[in-house]
Structure 1
Amino acid sequence: MTAMTTIGEPAELKKYTGPQRAAALLLVLGKTHGAPIWESLAVEEVKELSSAMAQLGRLPAPVVEHLLVMFSSEIAGMASLHGSFETTERLLGNMLSDDKVKEIMDDIRGPSGRTMWDKLSNVSEGVLAAYLKNEYPQTVALILGKLKPDHAARVLSELPREMGVEVIGRMLRMDTVQKGVITEVEQTLKIEFMTNLARTQRRDPHESMAELFNAMDRSTEEAMLLALEEKSPDSAERIRALMFTFEDLTGLLPAAIATIVKQADKKVLTLALKAADEAARKIFFGGMTERAASLLREDISNTGPVRARDCEEAQSQLVLLAKTLADKGEIMLVDPKSDDAVIL
């Protein structure tokens, strides 16, 4: 057991790469102790470690002992674990090459998804269209053909009209695409688009703050915005412009209103409309059947005195529901501050 306490690194260990060391450790841990680690790995990582394991050959005892000592000492010395991009990058750096670590970290920092096409489906149509405007129509047709129809349609609507028509024509005439071509397009997207997106995509803090203000009750919201206007009028104006309120819902298309009404909790809808004016109520009633609208009118009339705060909270819940539906692509939220912009 004296070898287990040896601090120095055995000379034999130097000839093993990072992936080989990781593979050796997993080989020693076996099925029982190594299964949780294998299950947490991506398919590509499993393949890489499996390949390294298959080429290990006979492992010298000092190498095995040293790997176990390093593993157990690092785990024992941890009071707690903290997972983050930084800790993950440091850990991978001990096992993989710098290029591989960079590739993995750029990948996980980008939009989520197991395949490139899953990831593209999580990129907003405006951002994706801005990139595709500079590509050949044939390439754009191939990419859109791999996306979900609803997402591809939204991207098409963001492209210049002439280019969009050209892309549609190419999609109609497109034959079976060779696997090598698809692989090349995927690699180009990964290098030129996803990596840059992961590095440059930063959310405007005003957007997060607008969501926070949307969740406040009206009196607190207004008091905070007025106070902010005194110190930073530009920020306050930006936040107000980004906020989406209950009143803004009345500007939605009838189909969107109908979807919201269908998904909303009836008690929430009753409270929200009790504080609304008649014009707003008519818009929501228009998204229901006559019978459903009549019943809702009765519920509103039969509801006794209600605190204004409860009604405002119900209206906020409808706004959050609308945003959730928009994120899922089920409705579009028309921004009343722009004639043709949409909030997705």
Structure 2
Amino acid sequence: MMELSLPGIDKAAILLLSLGESDAAAVLRQLDAKEVQRVGLCMAQLANVRREQVEAVVAEFIDTVNDHTSLGLGTDDYIRSMLTQALGEDKAGNLIDRILIGGNTSGLDSLKWMEARAVADVIRFEHPQIQAIVVAYLDPDQASEVLSHLDSKVRLDIIQRVASLSTVQPTALKELNQILEKQFAGSSGNSRTHLGGVKRAANILNCLDSSLESELLDTLRQTDNSLYTQLEDLMFVFDNLADADDRGIQTLLREVPPQTLLIALRGADEAVKGKIFNNMSRRAAELLREDLAANGPVRLSEVQAAQKEIVAIARRMADAGEITLGGAGAEQML
């Protein structure tokens, strides 16, 4: 077997192209958006891959090479179908265009690769509407981090603007990308881009540090009670796990690290604890109860962070259709 000195990203691309579409899609579901983009772009750029290379790559992961490989056989269609299966049509659309058109990254997309503090610095002195468009475009967890680096009054203004956003004209996005000194990828179309909305604002608030989240909601309750009520209805918090269906809880528990669950339950009410214990094996539940009783005090910030992590996992799985969340916002299928 030949030795390979390929970068890891190239090996991952070759391996995925060696799998069937369903299996490759299942792998991609475990990656975040940035990882999917990197691997997908590498797959699209692969050329003249020798069978010896394929065998060497696959040998690192499995014992035999899959007889059915899509290498060199309609690669674009394969990537398009695989990403759609993995992400759904809406999420995969722009990503597919960026990958297959040549991988150009727009100014807005480039911000997704930056540290949250750096993004905050980029938009700090821009018009509030530009700040809102940027925050609405980012993934909720990154958007919440960006907000944490801005002043409280700015955070409140941005959240209100994000909630009122619905669509953004292509010309506005082009102008924004000029400000960011980047060309907007996929701007050849003339359709409006859907950004923002109350649900998007709720998702961002869900990812904020608990103290900042409470501060923003308290201010909104006093200044814009209508928006506050809409956000509260859409937000999913840790305590809402008590209303989730049993199958969903069982599926969720398979994805949550045991230590994270242990810390999160330190601050959980009895209804949530009961829901968790009832959906574990008797032995596993006994061990978890023993660990909860044996462990010493845990900082409130650690408990809140662990609960936020579990909520983020639950929301990701709900968005993928793997579980259905109960409680606030259940009808909207968060």
Higher helix share: 1
Larger RCO, structure (CA 8 Å, separation 6 or more):
2
TM range (shorter): 0.3 to 0.5
- TM-score normalised by structure 2 residue count: 0.43
